[in-house]
Amino acid sequence: MPPAQLPDSLVELGVKLCLVLSQEAQLYAKDKAPPIRLEEAQFTRVIDPSNGLPGYEGVWRDARAQKLGSLTINSDGSFHGEFDLLVLHPRKPRWFVEAVTVWGNDGVVKAEPRLLAAV
């Protein structure tokens, strides 16, 4: 799909979700937390499989074009985003924080880390 710009009506929500992802990343990665900025995501228009209506997916990539994270905002106002961290959990030595995630709908924003057991 060709690149799409996030509509003005969704920019405020996108900025808020990036802030939540950034705050969650700082809880676990501290000074190694990556910057998570809306303007650095490349958006495409996508079709929400649940209702067939248009939505937007933004993807963050590193200098080698490897995917670092994504943010999807659906036509019904629901959203889901994640950003890779892969750092040791600061309080649980047997766990890694693989990524931080954000999701929600209708003004409710939830966030949490996605954990992997250390082997």
Per-residue confidence of the chain (119 residues) as pLDDT tens digits?
445 688 999 999 999 999 999 999 999 999 889 999 999 999 999 998 888 988 999 999 999 999 999 999 998 889 999 999 999 999 998 999 999 999 999 889 999 999 999 87
- pLDDT at residue 4, as a whole number: 65
**pTM assigned to the model:** 0.90
- pLDDT at residue 102, as a whole number: 98
Distances, alpha carbon 57 to alpha carbons 29, 41, 48, 63, 103, in Å: 25, 9, 10, 19, 13
Domain ranges for the chain: 8-117
Adjacency order of strands within the sheet including 54-61: 42-47, 54-61, 67-73, 79-88, 95-105, 108-117
- pLDDT at residue 118, as a whole number: 82
